[in-house]
Amino acid sequence: MENNFFNNDSRIGIPSLFYDTLTGKPFSKCQVCEKEIMEHSTNYIIEKVFRKNIISGKIDVHFEFAICFDCAMNLTNSYSKESKENLQRFFTENVEQDFKKHQEVKLATERDVVEHLSACSITGKPVTELDEYQIIGQFTGQYINPAMAPVMIGSGAMDEVSDLLSNKTLDEIDDFTGKYLTGPPEFRDFFKAPKRRPILV
Ligand SMILES: [Zn+2]
């Protein structure tokens, strides 16, 4: 991935979109190993799934987590060989193409990032047309990791990604999410439904 999403000398802080919904503040720890992640050089990932509430029509955070690179690596290493190959192929064929377009975009402020996240990074579908989507960002300490712009993935594309994972891998992700995810209590039901799982990229 090219390092030209961002203006060279501007570091962007963590957009509030990626804050811990329960505290309204940035995540402070990896939810797996409890390492402090706001430290200067700690690399970590934040992933959140938003879903439209059928009754209120409001988009709510369905679940979210912060995980350090080491723990994320351990999880993806546990994916089956087949799943890893499928994911790799999918991202090479679909995502990288679209990311090339995004590379034209210069992200200089939090506002640019939020704007950038307003359409699916894979299909280009606007967030206003999605009932469910996830955002994934990589961070280093208190800043967005300049090597990777955050992405938004709409529900259609999420299903495509889930379909690429083997049952063994999906079971492992289920174990992981059961143990570590935070969010409203009903989020656990989310994992009982097929094809609705977090994907670490
Ligand atoms: Zn960790």
Q: How far is the CA of 180 from the centre of ligand 1 (A)?
A: 11
Q: Tell me, yes or no, whether 87 lies in a domain.
A: yes
Q: Tell me, yes or no, whether 55 lies in a domain.
A: yes
As for how many domains the chain has, the answer is 1
Q: How far is the CA of 54 from the centre of ligand 1 (A)?
A: 34
Among 53-62, 80-89, 117-126, 158-167, the range scoring the smallest mean pLDDT is 158-167
Q: Tell me, yes or no, whether 27 lies in a domain.
A: yes
Q: How far is the CA of 45 from the centre of ligand 1 (A)?
A: 10
Q: Tell me, yes or no, whether 2 lies in a domain.
A: no
Q: How far is the CA of 175 from the centre of ligand 1 (A)?
A: 16
Q: Tell me, yes or no, whether 143 lies in a domain.
A: yes
Q: Tell me, yes or no, whether 195 lies in a domain.
A: no
pTM given for the model: 0.75
Q: Tell me, yes or no, whether 165 lies in a domain.
A: yes
Asked if pLDDT for residue 51 goes beyond 70, the answer is yes
Q: How confident is the model at residue 23 (pLDDT cuts 50, 70, 90)?
A: very high
Neighbours of ion ligand 1 (CB under 5 A): 30, 32-33, 35, 68, 71
Q: Tell me, yes or no, whether 193 lies in a domain.
A: no
Phi, psi of 83 (to 5 degrees): -60, -45
Residue 49 structural domain? 16-182
